């Protein structure tokens, strides 16, 4: 039998309440996974058959860990017949039994993204539609969005009267017919078809309702509308539904998660029991108080206040740097100081940021100091496609013989130089023993190329040759790079060809960071040249294949990751960087009506990742396209009480008098108070 006395009172209440709906509001670090696993053990002790228990979570990793913890708690034998899975794995299980009712065979295939794109391209060809003008990825993204809203082809009404939207609407039924002809479904179909099966086939619904009489859902704040309906159908008969989550950690609205599912649970299930888990077993009192003070400003939330009996801990360090390069230097210096002072490992530290483009300065500084790091949830900065594409222009300008770089950029952005023309240019350059770029300039001598195409080839040659002449002049490298990228229209191309605005915005920010990196290189290196900058980048890339690469990707390495990627993790020492308006909160929440509440929840998540100590940093100025621009401190920073913060000016190496430090603190906190008034 499971001993309930090992749980604190709210945990014990959540575990003991087994009949009827239950909402467990589990604050960060409050032991929610323990509650779920113990609740399963308690159900088994009460005599509930294992096959009547269902636990659902979001990732295979989380499901696997939950299974293992339940097995350790109750033994492997008692778990037989129990289902602990992701939403999609559960959907596949249901479809394998009864998908024939929807016109598919039981041995259906689940198509990967590449399989899906193949079907989309086939549909485009059959409709005689130019696949270069209307790319398959864009069409598939639109169809996926419709499926996640449970919209079948006949239910779709284009929201925008643009060509791509109308085209995708026409392709959707063709695509679904092609899938069915192959007895295949895609990833989005799994939930959509499962919901359709349960809605349209009462006997199927009854079977699974009888099978799963006790249902638990983890991370309920992250469910979207289709997942919500899926679980609601299964739980409708017995109403023994326990959902566990934290509305204060709902940070995935951009991918369809609806925080309203957890906020409105009590309306959907009148009379449900609500249990709040507020005792935190992770962080110090000062860290928790900062988190509480920030999140309390959200307009719509379930009231809860994290607390701990582990003591207050140290005040939160606040580093105010002159610019983003000094911010990176200051963070790395303080990281090293903490490591030596407390005899820590590099793996005890994490640097968290709002946008992946912010990683560039920290990556460069860590490499400069030979500190191992691992980048989570993204490629290293100089490995990102848009960064490589932009750098290849600089490589061709610096070295016109670099034909690999030339081939990469000749149609980025698209300029109408087709594959056939490139074959002719390449063959002519080989036959005449001249570099490929020179062949571009002599295109008039090449047969079989139309006059309009020749003009496009010559225009590209003039662009590269003109830029090369400009870069041979000394100084103003960052300004020349910005002018080149503007002339090329790289930003416009990314927004035009990438359907999802958030992804396009991140890629534009990454290209912007190349200019910022160039500006910083010029500041550090007197007489800096384009060749020198490209050499620095190449050597950084080469480091990945050196002996220290193994160390970087081992356990003893600093973790760099976005706030979105950090959810569910914890670190002894956390650096939460870039707390400025337009970064956190991100400018999209200010300019585009995106939820400011969700940005505040991101900040809350970042603060609560820290166990022993938290350092927050912000810049007075930050580079944008290589030029320093003044930055406003984040409104979230203003929401943290002064008594919780220890202010530091710039890098740890700077000496600031006591009088200057007092004046700096007074001015800063006065400004913070003014923001709140």
Q: Is 106 a catalytic residue?
A: no
Q: Are 355 and 582 in contact (CB under 8 A)?
A: no
Least confident of 206-210, 299-303, 478-482: 478-482
Q: Say yes or no to pLDDT of 2 above 70.
A: no
Q: How far lies 629's CA from each of 322, 323, 517, 519, 635, in Å? A: 11, 9, 15, 13, 18
Q: Is 219 a catalytic residue?
A: yes
Q: Is 663 a catalytic residue?
A: no
Handedness of CA 183, 184, 189, 195 (dihedral sign): positive
* Three-state DSSP state, 376: coil
State yes or no: 355 annotated in a binding site. Answer: no
State yes or no: 350 annotated in a binding site. Answer: no
Residue 554: the pLDDT is: 45
State yes or no: 32 annotated in a binding site. Answer: yes
Q: Is 609 a catalytic residue?
A: yes
Q: How far lies 124's CA from each of 142, 168, 325, in Å? A: 15, 10, 48
Q: Give the tens place of pLDDT for each residue, 482-520.
A: 888 888 888 888 877 776 677 778 788 888 888 888 888
Q: For residue 203, what are its two tokens?
A: 């006997």
- Average pLDDT on 635-643 reads 92
Q: Give the tens place of pLDDT for each residue, 140-182.
A: 888 888 888 899 998 888 776 667 778 888 889 888 888 888 7
- Average pLDDT on 112-135 reads 75
Q: How far lies 630's CA from each of 224, 620, 622, in Å? A: 39, 6, 7
Q: Say yes or no to pLDDT of 361 above 80.
A: yes
Q: Say yes or no to pLDDT of 473 above 80.
A: no
State yes or no: 28 annotated in a binding site. Answer: yes
| CA gap 354, 624 in Å, rounded | 16
Q: For residue 58, what are its two tokens?
A: 């979001």
Greatest mean pLDDT among 132-136, 206-210, 388-392, 547-551 lies in 206-210
Q: Give the tens place of pLDDT for each residue, 80-100.
A: 889 999 898 899 899 989 999
Catalytic residue among 567, 609, 611, 623: 609
Q: Say yes or no to pLDDT of 254 above 60.
A: yes
Catalytic residue among 13, 186, 218, 348: 218
State yes or no: 18 annotated in a binding site. Answer: no
Q: Say yes or no to pLDDT of 19 above 60.
A: yes
How many CB atoms neighbour CB 346 within 10 A? 21
* Confidence class for position 591, pLDDT limits 50, 70, 90: low
Q: Say yes or no to pLDDT of 546 above 50.
A: no
Q: Say yes or no to pLDDT of 550 above 50.
A: no
| CA gap 233, 205 in Å, rounded | 8
State yes or no: 31 annotated in a binding site. Answer: yes
Residue 356: the pLDDT is: 85
Q: For residue 557, what are its two tokens?
A: 């390495």
Q: Is 550 a catalytic residue?
A: no
Q: For residue 290, what are its two tokens?
A: 């900062």
- Average pLDDT on 171-197 reads 88
Mean pLDDT over each residue of the chain, to the nearest integer: 85
Catalytic residue among 33, 209, 453, 497: 33
| CA gap 75, 553 in Å, rounded | 35
How many CB atoms neighbour CB 670 within 10 A? 10
Q: Say yes or no to pLDDT of 553 above 50.
A: no
Higher-pLDDT residue of 433, 329: 329
Q: Of 223, 218, 214, 222, which is closest to residue 248 (Cα–Cα)?
A: 222
Based on its alpha-carbon atoms, the radius of gyration of the chain, rounded to whole angstroms, reads 28
């Amino acid at each position: 039998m499971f001993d309930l006395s090992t749980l604190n009172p709210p945990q014990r209440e959540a575990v003991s309440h087994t009949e009827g709906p239950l909402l467990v509001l589990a604050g960060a670090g409050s032991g929610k996974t323990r509650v779920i696993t113990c609740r399963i053990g308690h159900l088994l002790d009460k005599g509930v058959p294992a096959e009547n228990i269902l636990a659902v979570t979001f990732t295979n990793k989380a499901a696997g860990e939950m299974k293992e913890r339940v097995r350790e708690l109750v033994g492997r034998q008692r778990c037989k017949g129990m289902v602990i899975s992701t939403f999609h794995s559960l959907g596949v299980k249901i479809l394998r039994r009864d998908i024939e009712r929807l016109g598919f065979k039981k041995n259906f295939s689940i198509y990967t993204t590449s399989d899906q794109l193949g079907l989309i391209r086939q549909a485009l060809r059959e409709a005689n539609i130019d696949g270069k003008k209307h790319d398959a990825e864009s069409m598939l993204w639109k169809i996926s969005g419709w499926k996640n809203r449970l919209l079948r082809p006949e239910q779709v009404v284009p929201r925008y009267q643009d060509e791509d939207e109308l085209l995708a609407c026409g392709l959707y039924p063709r695509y679904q017919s092609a899938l069915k002809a192959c007895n295949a479904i895609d990833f989005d179909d799994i939930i959509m078809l499962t919901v359709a099966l349960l809605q349209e086939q009462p006997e199927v619904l009854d079977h699974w309702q009888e099978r799963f009489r006790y249902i638990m859902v983890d991370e309920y704040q992250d469910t979207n509308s289709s997942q919500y309906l899926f679980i609601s159908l299964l739980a409708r008969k017995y109403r023994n539904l326990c959902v566990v989550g934290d509305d204060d950690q709902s940070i995935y609205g951009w991918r369809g998660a609806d925080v309203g599912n957890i906020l409105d649970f009590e309306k959907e299930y009148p009379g449900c029991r609500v249990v709040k888990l507020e005792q935190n077993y992770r962080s110090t009192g000062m860290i928790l108080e900062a988190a509480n003070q920030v999140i309390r400003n959200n307009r719509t939330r379930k009231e809860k206040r994290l607390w701990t009996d582990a003591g207050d801990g140290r005040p939160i360090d606040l580093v105010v740097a002159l610019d983003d390069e000094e911010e990176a230097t200051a963070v790395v210096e303080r990281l090293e100081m903490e490591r030596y002072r407390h005899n820590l490992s590099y793996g005890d530290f994490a640097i968290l940021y709002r946008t992946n483009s912010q990683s560039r300065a920290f990556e460069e500084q860590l490499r400069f100091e030979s500190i191992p790091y691992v980048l989570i949830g993204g490629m290293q900065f100089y490995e990102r496609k848009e960064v490589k594409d932009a750098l290849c222009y600089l490589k061709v300008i610096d070295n016109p013989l670099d034909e690999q770089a030339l081939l990469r950029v000749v149609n980025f952005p698209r300029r109408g130089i087709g594959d056939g023309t490139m074959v002719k240019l390449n063959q002519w350059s080989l036959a005449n023993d001249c570099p490929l770029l020179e062949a571009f300039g002599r295109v008039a001598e090449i047969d079989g190329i139309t006059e309009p195409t020749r003009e496009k080839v010559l225009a590209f040659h003039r662009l590269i040759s003109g830029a090369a002449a400009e870069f041979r002049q000394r100084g103003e490298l960052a300004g020349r790079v910005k002018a080149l990228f503007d002339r090329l229209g790289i930003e416009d191309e990314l927004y035009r060809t990438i359907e999802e605005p958030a992804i396009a915005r991140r890629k534009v920010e990454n290209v912007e960071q190349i200019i910022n990196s160039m500006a910083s290189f010029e500041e550090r290196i007197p007489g800096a040249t384009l060749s020198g900058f490209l050499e620095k980048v190449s050597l950084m890339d080469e480091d990945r294949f050196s002996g220290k690469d193994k160390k970087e990707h081992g356990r003893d390495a600093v973790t760099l990751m976005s706030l979105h990627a950090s959810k569910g993790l914890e670190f002894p020492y956390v650096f939460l960087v870039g707390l400025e308006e337009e970064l956190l909160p991100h400018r999209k929440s200010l300019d585009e009506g995106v939820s400011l509440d969700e940005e505040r929840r991101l900040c809350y998540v970042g603060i609560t990742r820290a166990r022993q100590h938290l350092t927050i940093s912000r810049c007075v100025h930050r580079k944008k396209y290589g030029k320093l621009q003044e930055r406003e401190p984040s409104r979230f920073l203003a929401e943290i009480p002064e008594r919780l913060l220890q202010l530091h000016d710039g890098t740890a190496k700077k000496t600031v008098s006591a009088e200057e430090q007092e004046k700096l603190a007074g001015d800063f906190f006065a400004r913070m108070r003014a923001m709140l008034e």
